[in-house]
Structure 1
Amino acid sequence: MNKFFFLLLVPFWAVCQTSITDFETLIEQKEYKKVVPLLTIYLKNEPHDLKAKELLGDAYGYQKQWDKASGLYKDLVQKQPNTANYHYKYGGALGMKALSVSKFTALGLIGDIKNAFLKAAELDASHIETRWALVELYMQLPGVIGGSMSKSLRYANELENLSKVDGFLAKGYIYEYDDDPEQAEKYYKMAIQEGGSLTCFNKLTTLYENENQPEKAIQNIEAAQEKHQRNALHYQIGKVAAEYHIELEKGEACLKTYLAHYSAKDGVPKAWANYRLAQIEMHKKNKANALEYIDLAISELPKIKVFTETKAAVLNL
């Protein structure tokens, strides 16, 4: 065989040997740019493989290429109109597109988004993600184009029947969005009591921070730490202490603990912990210590604007 011709065949042969499981693995590993050309070639030879088409839509979605993702999902909806998850993904891609275009263009997408989610909910009475999407959609839409708190609560009730935790979190979200922090707090606490995941604790912490109640935020983070024993929660305590100028000694101790036990899975880079320590030292009027910490933060992440701004403030102490 001609060597050049053989080399041309190699990529095609490699794709032919690739299974759907391999594509799924690449997506799980966030190798989106790698999997897109492989799936594209695969679909040229297997155009009726709906799973491959869905995975290609997912890969585009993860890269925020909403037109390409929604086009693929729309094709799936047309080919299998009774599959709830296709309608859900189509509505989701259109919804994300609506957030990235002009308000006028977004307005034209609302009907298709709503219809896709409603169809998914109709087809699958246990589809939790669709009901979450409808809860958020009806709360965020203005009333003149279909927004409705009562409709949002309807789907929150459906969520509660499927999963009490999701139902309580959805109701917390609704009341928080409706500027009713007491009701939101009630339902977030119910979610913590029912499920107790970090997500439940984080929702309540964020509510307290948004309502300028840092003491309650710290108490809630400490409760989460007692249950989950996550180093990342030490950073959260230090962050609240630094931002709100409260419990500075506790905040400092937590940030130092975070740095001492830091690993990549903690999520927040060490530079941010050093930045929070600099904030605390500024509150305590310790210029030398503040300068030491902010210099550490800048050395680790030199392009973060707030770090350089904070250093200028430290120098002016």
Structure 2
Amino acid sequence: MNMLPTKRSMLLGVLLIQAPLLYADASKAFTALQHGRVDEAEQSLRTILAATPNDAYAHQLLCRVFYAQEQAEKAVAECEAAVAAAPNDSVDLMWLARAYGQKASHAGPIAGYSLGKKVGQTFKRAVEADPSNLDAVNDLGEFYTQAPGIVGGGVDKARPLVDTLQSRSPGKAHRLLAYIAESSGDSPTAEAEFKKAIDAGHTTDAYMDLGNFYEMHHKPDQAFAAVNAGLAADREHGPPLMDAATILIAAKRGQDIAERALSDYLSSPNQTDEAPVFKAHVILGKLLAKRGDNAGAQREFAAARALAANFSAARDASKGA
């Protein structure tokens, strides 16, 4: 009997040895991404993809690494690779749609039209692949209420999604109804629906949605009150704290509260790439610079660069402070 290992068996052995190591690298990359360490995450993901080029999850995470840094071209390429490897994965499709949207926001009219259509079509595919993916349902609903009809938008398309959300997340259903009303020019109903979203769960997110609504309607005092109510209800110190700071800055109210919200987020265990940590450092640095604390501002900008060396806003802020 020939006891020498075949090339196939040797390859299988190598793959079996690599598998747990690559899984550990993916877990490490995800954790790094959640805490804003995007340079570290990218390095881990490059290692995985060098060994397994068709790893859909690694491509999705790398897409999110670039998306967080607003590098839309690279984000689209990685998310397209993820979807090519796993065509019916709802989360991969959702992130691809988001990447298309980010790219569209910086594109000219012709390219923007083509990308805008892709955004809606891809969000729709994400929902069809998994109707229980409420983030995708929510994103598709927002697209329908905000995009022009020429690229597939329309409030009539959003209304059926309310029922999908209502049975699983009444707060999200009221939020979508608020967007539908706002898109239809019915601001009083939009305000009422945002308040119903708060009543449905008293989540910090819901208060921030109301605060953002008031800020967009040039009602800074009401925005300030909504944000403060949301911060009082906050128990997790997660991404809504960045929303709070952004709203307060736009409303020109409560800079000290905005600074505290950002500091709380930066020390929180509940950070996610939904609110990139390096962006929080940049926003806090700009607040500190505004009140004359240039040394503190530079520390924040340096912290951002240490996490995301290629994030242009951190470099630009450092030069301007």
Common fold: TM-score over 0.5: yes
Change (3 A) 1:195 1:44: same
Alignment-derived partner of residue 307 in structure 2: none
Compare relative contact order (CA 8 Å, sep 6+) and give the higher one, 1 or 2.
Answer: 2
After superposition, give the CA deviation of every residue in 1:159-180 in whole Å (9 maximum; x if it has no partner).
2222101111122223234332
Alignment-derived partner of residue 87 in structure 1: 93
8 Å CA contact 2:88, 2:129 repeated in 1: yes
How far 1:122 sits from its partner (Å)?
1.0
8 Å CA contact 1:66, 1:96 repeated in 2: yes
Q: What is the distance in 2 between the residues matched to 1:223 and 1:270?
A: 25
Alignment-derived partner of residue 34 in structure 1: 40
Q: What is the distance in 1 between the residues matched to 2:257 and 2:152?
A: 49
8 Å CA contact 1:171, 1:184 repeated in 2: yes
After superposition, give the CA deviation of every residue in 1:195-235 in whole Å (9 maximum; x if it has no partner).
111221122223233334455445545544554499x89x9
* Higher mean C-alpha displacement, 155-164 vs 178-187: 155-164
Larger radius of gyration: 1
Q: Which amino acid aligns with 2:191?
A: E
Alignment-derived partner of residue 282 in structure 1: none
TM-score by length of 1: 0.67
Q: Which amino acid aligns with 1:88?
A: M
Q: What is the distance in 2 between the residues matched to 1:226 and 1:75?
A: 42
Please give the secondary structure, in 1, of the residue aligned with 2:167: helix
1:58 aligns to 2:40 (yes or no): no
8 Å CA contact 1:131, 1:156 repeated in 2: no
Aligned counterpart in structure 2 of residue 209 of structure 1, from 210, 215, 218: 215
How far 1:190 sits from its partner (Å)?
0.6
Alignment-derived partner of residue 125 in structure 1: 131
After superposition, give the CA deviation of every residue in 1:111-168 in whole Å (9 maximum; x if it has no partner).
3222211111111111111112211212222223332111122223322222101111
Q: What does 1:133-148 correspond to in 2, within 5 Å? A: 133-148=139-154
Change (3 A) 1:171 1:44: same
How far 1:70 sits from its partner (Å)?
1.9
Q: What is the distance in 2 between the residues matched to 1:272 and 1:124?
A: 41
Q: What is the distance in 1 between the residues matched to 2:262 and 2:192?
A: 34
Q: What does 1:63-212 correspond to in 2, within 5 Å? A: 63-212=69-218
1:23 aligns to 2:22 (yes or no): no
8 Å CA contact 1:138, 1:147 repeated in 2: yes
8 Å CA contact 1:132, 1:156 repeated in 2: no
After superposition, give the CA deviation of every residue in 1:58-97 in whole Å (9 maximum; x if it has no partner).
2222222222222222233233222212221222211111
Change (3 A) 1:21 1:144: closer
* Higher mean C-alpha displacement, 162-171 vs 262-271: 262-271
8 Å CA contact 1:54, 1:76 repeated in 2: yes
Q: What is the distance in 2 between the residues matched to 1:255 and 1:264?
A: 12
Change (3 A) 1:23 1:227: closer
Q: What is the distance in 2 between the residues matched to 1:54 and 1:219?
A: 38
Aligned counterpart in structure 2 of residue 45 of structure 1, from 31, 45, 51: 51
8 Å CA contact 2:289, 2:297 repeated in 1: no
How far 1:194 sits from its partner (Å)?
0.9
Change (3 A) 1:196 1:54: same
Q: Which amino acid aligns with 1:32?
A: V
8 Å CA contact 1:208, 1:216 repeated in 2: yes
Please give the secondary structure, in 2, of the residue aligned with 1:204: helix
8 Å CA contact 1:181, 1:207 repeated in 2: no
Alignment-derived partner of residue 312 in structure 1: none
Please give the secondary structure, in 2, of the residue aligned with 1:47: coil
8 Å CA contact 2:101, 2:119 repeated in 1: yes
8 Å CA contact 1:60, 1:66 repeated in 2: yes
After superposition, give the CA deviation of every residue in 1:17-67 in whole Å (9 maximum; x if it has no partner).
863222222222322123323322332222243322322222222222222
Change (3 A) 1:50 1:271: closer
After superposition, give the CA deviation of every residue in 1:236-279 in whole Å (9 maximum; x if it has no partner).
8xx69x95xxxxxxx8xx777888x888226774984997xxxx
8 Å CA contact 2:131, 2:137 repeated in 1: no
